[in-house]
Amino acid sequence: MKTQIQKLKTDLQRLEQENSQLRQALKTDELTGLGNFRSFVQDIENSLNEVKKHSLDRAQKYALIFIDVDSFKMVNETHGHWAASRLLGLVGRRLSKTIRETDLAFRYGGDEFVILVKGRHQDIQKMVLRIKNSVASKSFSVEGFRGKQEIPLTVTTGVRVLTPDDTVSTVIEEADRALFEAKRRQKKDISQMAA
């Protein structure tokens, strides 16, 4: 009887561990190890609820930093999906090492990432610079039929501070709009330099 009870306890512990692993897998992006879109939506809803409940003091803010990998399309089209997937994994690891313990990082989809940051305005600005510097700190090495190439990495960011009136859709739309505007300005600056 004791042997059967011990076996049941062992089986139960194993099942609990497997369930925990499955719950974690449901929240994790496979390529990058960051939170996935499902996890992002849950965490942004929780953050918006906190903003609405507590109306954080004026110094403390939640912000979304949308991040787009500038060279992703070129890597994908020139070197293929395998190289592009490796690039996403590299960016994910660099973001993980860059953010603070209180920040949350997600792969939003494609070559876009999102960081959920809580802090003062200066903290948010510093995080944007840290992200850009971290991703650009070392080029991406890819080997193909053209030989080994070092591809410089850069990202474009769009930032949106959360307010008590926000919904998940409005904050995502506005952060995405800020990212689009940053990319548009960046292309305009590049084209003016070429003229």
Instruction: Name the band, by pLDDT with cuts 50, 70 and 90, for residue 57.
Output: low
| Separation CA 121–CA 172 (nearest Å) | 19
3-state secondary structure of 139: coil
Residues 171-195: tens digit of each pLDDT? 999 999 999 999 888 765 544 434 4
Give just the sign of the alpha carbon dihedral 160, 162, 165, 168. Answer: positive
In this prediction the pTM is 0.81
* Superfamily holding 25-194: Reverse transcriptase/Diguanylate cyclase domain (3.30.70.270)
Question: What percent of the chain has a predicted confidence (pLDDT) above 70?
Answer: 84
Residues 72-88: tens digit of each pLDDT? 999 989 888 888 999 99
Residues 88-140: tens digit of each pLDDT? 999 999 999 999 999 999 999 999 999 999 988 888 999 999 999 999 988 88
